Chain A
Amino acid sequence: MRQMIIDELTQAMQELTRGFAHILPRIIVLVIIAFAGWVVAYLLKMFLRSILRLIKFDKLSENAGASQLLTKAALPSATELLSRFMFWMAWLGFILLGVSVLGILGLQDEIARFFLFLPRLFVALFILFFGLLAASFFSRAALLAAVNANLRSPRLLSVSIRTIIIVFVLSMFFEELGIAEQTVLVAFGTAFGAVMLGLAIAFGTGGKDLAQQFLEKRFSVGKKDEGKEDELSPL
C-alpha cells in the first residue's frame, strides 16, 4: 500500500515535473518574446513618432481642432497618443503571440480572432477620429459662413451639420467594428432619410421665396439691385 502511494506520488510528481519541463521552456520563450516585443514596440513607437512629427501631425490635428478636444480630455498630444497606442498594441500583440506559443488550446482561437479583429479596430478608430474632426471643422465653417452671410439661426445650422456628420461617422464606426451592423445601418438609413425628407418638405414649401432669391442672386446676369442704400467697400 505504502509502495503504491509512493509510486503514485512519484508518478504524479513526475507528471508535474514533466508538465513543468514541458511548459517551462515555453514560458521562457514567452518571456523572451515579450521582451523582444517590448523592444520592437518601443522602436515602432519611436519610428511612428518621428514620422508623425515630420508630417507635422500635431499641427494637422490642431488645425482641425482635435488638439483642443484632447487637451480638454486631459490626454496628451495627438502624436504622443498615437505613438503610445501603437506601442501598447504592438506589445500586446507580441505578448499574445507568446501566449499562443504556450499551446493552450481554445486560447489560440481566441487569440487568432483577436488579431483578426485588430485591423478593423484600427480602421474604426481612424474613422471615428477623423470623423469627429470633420464634424467640428464643418460645423464651425458653416457657423462662420452663416454669420457672415447674415442668415437667421446660424447656430442651428451649425449644430445640425455637426449632428448629421457625427451620426454618419458613428454608424460607419459601428459598421466597421461589425457590432450590430444591420441594426445600425437600418436605423441610420431611416433617420437620415427622414431628416432629408423633412428638410425637403420644409424647404420646398416654406422656403421657396428664399430659394428664389438665392438662385437669382447666384445666377442672374447683370441685374443690379437698385440699392436704396450704398455699399461699403472694404478696400
Chain B
Amino acid sequence: MPLKQEVPWYKLAVIYQAHVRTFYDSNGDGVGDFQGLDQKLDYLKELGIDTIWLMPFFPSPLRDDGYDISDYYSVHSSYGTLEDFRTFLKSAHARQIRVIIEMVLNHTSDQHPWFQQSRSSQDNPRRDWYVWSDTDTGYSQTRIIFLDTELSNWAWDPISKSYYWHRFFSHQPDLNYDNPAVREEMWNVMKFWLEMGVDAFRLDAVPYLVEREGTNCENLPETHGIIKELRRKLDEQFPGKMLLAEANQWPVDLRPYFADGDEFHMAFHFPLMPRMFMGVKLEDRKPITEILQQTPEIPPSCQWCLFLRNHDELTLEMLTTVERSYMNDTYARDMDMRLNLGIRRRLAPLLDNDRRRIELMHGILMSLPGTPNIYYGDEIGMGDNIKLGDRNGVRTPMQWSGGWNGGFSAAEPEKLYAPLIQDPVYGYPAVNVVSQKKTEHSLLNWIARIIAVRKTTSVFGAGSIEFLYPANHRILAYVRQLENETILVVNNLSNAAQAVELDLRRYKGNILIEMFGKNIFPRVGDLPYLLTLGPYQFYWFRLRRI
C-alpha cells in the first residue's frame, strides 16, 4: 500500500553486517575477498537483505581488525583491489542492495604516512594533524575505553619525544579535529568513496573526535559542529546518502547526535541491546520498557539502528553495577568470556542454542521501532571461539557447507586467517548454509521468512510505538502504527507458557490477523483480550476492521 509520505530507504532496510575477510575466499589465500563477497550476493538477496554494512577494509596493519587505517583511498591487498570493490559495488546495486562502509574518523593507525610524518619532528607540516603534548596529565577526566589493555590515553613517542593522545589502542593515535586541514582531508576521503557509489557511512567512535580540558572529552559541542558540517556537505552534494553513528552512550546523550535532523540519520541504540538479553533471562519486560521509556523522541527523518550482536563484545557499559553483575553471572560465568566490561560471545551460544529464544529475540529485533541489523553468521546460528583472544572469537570464517574449510576457502586449513568453529554443536559440519537451505524449518529459512513478513509493511520501520502494560510482567506487548495501519506485537519473555489479558479497548471492533499464518483471531470486544503464549512465543497481529 503506497504511503502518503515518502519513507527514507534506511527506515525500511534490513542491514547485514559482515567483514569481507570472514565471508568468502575466492582466490584460495585463506582470507575472504571482494570477489568472493560478490559471488555471495545472491545468498544475501535470497535471505531478504537489502543493505550490507562492511567492516573496515582499507589498508591497515590489522592490529585492531582494520580499525587502524593506514590508507584511506585504497583496499587492503588481502581483500582485493579497488577495482574489485567497484565491481562488487555495482553487483550489489544491481541486486538492489545498498552498501554501508566504515569511516574511521577519530584515529588512524600509527603506520599511516600522516602519523609517520607527524611524529618525525615537531616542525613537520603534519605535526598538528594529531594531538601532541609534552606531559601525559592533560584531559585527566577522560575514561579509558580498552580497560583490559591500556593504562592511559596518552602514549609516549620515542621519536618526537612527546606524548600523543589515543582513545583506543596505543597504536591508534587520535586525529586532531581542531585542525581545519584534518577536517578538509577527511571530507575528501568521504567524497572519494561517495563518488564511487557507496550509499552510507558508519562513522566509528564519533563521540571522541574533539578534546577539551576540564571535560570527559566525549560528546563535546565542537564534535557536533564537525558532524553538522559533514552532513551539510553530504546533503548538498550527495542527497539520499546516509550517516550512521556508532556512539555507545545513554539515549539521552545520544539524542544530540540527531540534533534537528541535521547530524546523523541513524544511530545504534546501544543501551537497549543488553537489556533485551536481560529481559529474557529475568523473564521480565521491565528493563526493556524502561530503557525505551527513557529514550527521547528523535526527529522524524531519523532512525535507531537495532541489533542483537555485532563484531564487538556485548557491551555492558550502559548498565548499572547490579545489572552488570547479573548479566555476567548469567551469561558469562566463565571469566574468559568477559572483556572490557562486556561479553565476547555470539548470539546462539549466549542463548544456549535455544531455537525458540533465538526466534524470540529476532522477533523483538524486527518489531521494535528501528532498523534491524543482522551480524553475519547469526542467521545460521554460528558459534564462537573465546580462546581466540580479543574479540576474534566472534569473527570466524562464515560456514557455507560441511565440506573443506566449511566451504569458506580452498586453501589449506592452516592458512586461514582464523580457525573455523569445529565443535560438535556449532562446528561447520553441523551449522552451515547448505544444509540449512535444504531443511525447510531451519533457522536460516525462518529468518528469511521473518524478514519477508517484516517487509510486507512499513509499519515496523517507520511507525510509532505505544507500549501496553499488561499486569503479567513476563509479556512485552506494544502497538505499532503508521497512518491507518496498526500492528499488535505480543512477546512472551518467559520459559513457560503464559496467559495475558490485554487492554485493547482503543482497538475495539478490530479483527486480529496473525501475520505469519494469516489466520484470523477473535475480534476485540469490551472485555480484556485474552491470549495464551507458549514458551518464548511471540505474535504479530495485523488489526483489521472489516
Q: Indicate yes or no for A touching B, C-beta below 8 A.
A: no
A interface residues with partner B (beta carbon < 8 Å): none
